[in-house]
């Protein structure tokens, strides 16, 4: 803790100055002093001025000691109570003690407030650090919920929303982990996750989780009167991810192995999901569940290297904006009949 300079001298001088003002008649009460001097002493005008000055100094001393006594008497219990409560809440060390003595009260108060300043500064640094960490590790919606609610207000539960789910998964990753060392495998994953996450965020989506070598991202339904459609943004993100991945493939072949073979498949589905905190009160995860998630995962499994596969529901929403190839219908788990799916070739330029 830095050394604190207490303005005791200034307080003392102010007290003397105030006492002299009182004795010289600038503040009421001087008449009482002057009358008593004239009644008990025979003084010349010069001696009367000296006597008034001496009286002022005496009054100043009285004022100074009164201030010190007054503050000590009334502030001592308050400060001790404050320190006791701060120790109980572990804001101050348990063994922290403060001996409040007359004449040093100003210094004691200054030290306490100096401790507060250091404490609040430390708390702010911890809060900023925590905020930055959860921004990296957690879903943005969960980060916002944690910051806006008290720790006891985070609860298990969710709500229904219409979203577009994007699943991406590497092709040939298992054989890649067997063939190459851990350093190269981690570099490939990090490059893929980094550029894909940036692409998703740029297109109004957000990564919900990484599952091994897969990415699950959410594109929420656009607010009313917004100038974009969630599934269209998801398609743009998916196509950009495939383009970026081709550049990464060239980088890895140049740097790691010219025979390196790894691809990327992406599946998109749109529909109603339950979004929220899933798990227990002791350990929960902010995620989405529902058929839409399962369908997106299934389409991702089907997608070959370079493909972006969408459902018929998505196709009908954005059919005027995209060029597609109709794929053989598939059977979806839990649903009857065959369902049409499409491979997105490109998105049309809109003028």
Residue-wise pLDDT tens digits, 291-322:
999 999 999 999 999 999 999 999 999 999 99
Q: List strand residue ranges (DSSP E) for 175-334, in order.
A: 206-211, 214-220, 263-279, 284-289, 308-311, 322-331
Q: Please report the pLDDT score of residue 187 as a whole number.
A: 94
- Residue 15 is part of which domain span? 8-126
Whether residue 100 is found in the same domain as residue 186: no
Whether residue 211 is found in the same domain as residue 342: yes
Q: What are phi and psi of 271, to 5 degrees?
A: 170, -170
- Residues 49, 20: contact at Cβ < 8 Å? no
The domain boundary residue, chosen from 89, 109, 126? 126
The domain boundary residue, chosen from 68, 92, 126? 126
Q: What are phi and psi of 191, to 5 degrees?
A: -60, -45
- Coil, strand or helix at 209: strand
**Mean pLDDT score, 225-247:** 94
Confidence grade of residue 1 (pLDDT, cut at 50, 70, 90): very low
Whether residue 226 is found in the same domain as residue 164: yes
Is 141 a domain residue? no
Structure tokens given for 251: 């980088």
What is the model's pTM? 0.65
Q: How far apart are CA 102 and CA 44, in angstroms?
A: 40
Residue, of 70 and 285, whose pLDDT is higher? 285
Q: Which helix (H) or strand (E) holds 138?
A: none
- Residues 294, 251: contact at Cβ < 8 Å? no
Is 39 a domain residue? yes
Whether residue 32 is found in the same domain as residue 80: yes
Structure tokens given for 320: 């005027």
Whether residue 60 is found in the same domain as residue 174: no
Whether residue 184 is found in the same domain as residue 76: no
Domains contained in the chain, number: 2
Is 94 a domain residue? yes
- Residues 24, 34: contact at Cβ < 8 Å? no
Whether residue 119 is found in the same domain as residue 31: yes
- Burial label, 298 (beta-carbon count in 10 A; 0-12, 13-18, 19+): buried
The CA angle 293-264-231, to the nearest 5 degrees, is 45
Is 37 a domain residue? yes
Whether residue 73 is found in the same domain as residue 198: no
Neighbouring-strand partners of residue 162: 272
pLDDT in tens, 105-137: 566 666 666 766 776 677 677 777 777 776 666
Of 19-28, 156-165, 201-210, give the lowest mean pLDDT range. 19-28
Q: How far apart are CA 308 and CA 210, in angstroms?
A: 19
The yes-or-no verdict on residue 333 having pLDDT over 70 is yes
Q: Please report the pLDDT score of residue 131 as a whole number.
A: 72
The CB-side HSE value for 249 (13 A sphere, CA atoms) comes to 18
Is 31 a domain residue? yes
Whether residue 286 is found in the same domain as residue 249: yes
Q: Please report the pLDDT score of residue 344 as a whole number.
A: 97
Is 224 a domain residue? yes
Q: Please report the pLDDT score of residue 122 as a whole number.
A: 74
Whether residue 290 is found in the same domain as residue 327: yes
């Amino acid at each position: 803790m830095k050394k604190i300079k207490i303005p005791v001298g200034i307080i003392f001088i102010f007290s003397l100055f105030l006492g002299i003002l009182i004795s010289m008649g600038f503040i009421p009460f001087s008449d009482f002093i002057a009358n008593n001097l004239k009644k008990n002493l025979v003084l010349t005008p010069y001696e009367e001025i000296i006597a008034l000055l001496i009286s002022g100094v005496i009054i100043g001393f009285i004022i100074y000691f009164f201030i010190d006594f007054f503050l000590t008497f009334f502030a001592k219990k308050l400060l001790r109570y404050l320190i006791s409560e701060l120790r109980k809440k572990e804001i101050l060390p348990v063994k922290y003690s403060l001996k409040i003595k007359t004449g040093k009260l100003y210094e004691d108060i200054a030290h306490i407030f100096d401790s507060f300043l250091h404490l609040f500064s430390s708390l702010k640094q911890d809060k900023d650090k925590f905020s930055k960490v959860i921004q990296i590790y957690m879903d943005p919606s969960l980060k916002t919920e944690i910051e806006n609610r008290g720790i006891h207000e985070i609860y298990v539960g969710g709500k229904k929303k219409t979203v577009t789910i994007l699943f991406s998964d590497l092709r040939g990753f298992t054989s890649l982990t067997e063939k190459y060392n851990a350093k190269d495998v981690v570099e490939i994953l990090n490059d893929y996750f980094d550029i894909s996450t940036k692409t998703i965020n740029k297109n109004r989506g957000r990564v919900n989780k990484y599952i091994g070598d897969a990415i699950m991202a959410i594109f929420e339904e656009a607010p009313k009167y917004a100038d974009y459609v969630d599934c269209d943004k998801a398609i743009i993100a998916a196509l950009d991810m495939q383009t970026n991945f081709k550049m990464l493939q060239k980088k890895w072949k140049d740097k790691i192995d010219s025979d390196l073979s790894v691809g990327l498949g992406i599946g998109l589905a749109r529909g109603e999901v339950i979004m929220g905190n899933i798990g227990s009160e002791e350990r929960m995860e902010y995620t989405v569940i529902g058929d839409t998630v399962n369908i997106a995962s299934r389409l991702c499994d089907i997608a070959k290297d370079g493909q972006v596969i969408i459902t018929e529901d998505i196709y009908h929403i954005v059919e005027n904006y995209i060029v597609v190839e109709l794929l053989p219908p598939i059977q979806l788990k839990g649903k009857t009949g065959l369902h049409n799916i499409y491979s997105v070739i490109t998105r049309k330029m809109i003028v």
